[in-house]
Amino acid sequence: MTEFVKRYAKIRGEDHVQHLQLEGQIAAQIKTRRKSLQMTQQQLADISGLPKSTIGRIEAGLTSPKVDTLLKISKALETTFTIDAR
């Protein structure tokens, strides 16, 4: 954990920081999978039935997708939606 993250965790709490890190991991996984399929954000939006702006905001980490949104994206990306209960 970087010094900044440690200081931020002291201010906002460790749970908040872990939540932000998880959201970042989800966003990165979506973007990585989309790119591995050589799919644009617009194509993912069209297949999933979601607005392109939603895909962009999720990938940029600006919004937290709801479960139904994640399910639509995972179906469009032909991958499973798995909750890691570590």
Angstrom CA distances, 68 to 4, 11, 20, 36, 61, stand at 33, 32, 19, 23, 17
pLDDT by residue (tens digit) across 28-83? Answer: 999 999 999 999 999 999 999 999 999 999 999 899 899 999 999 999 999 988 76
Residues 6 or more apart whose Cβ sits within 8 Å of residue 42: 52
Instruction: Give the integer Cα–Cα distance in Å for 32 and 37.
Output: 9
Structure tokens at 11: 């201010």
Domain ranges of the chain: 3-76
CATH class of 3-76: mainly alpha
String of b and e for 5-21 (b: at least 16 CB within 10 Å)? eeebbeeeeeeebeebe
Rounded to two decimals, what is the model's pTM?
Answer: 0.82
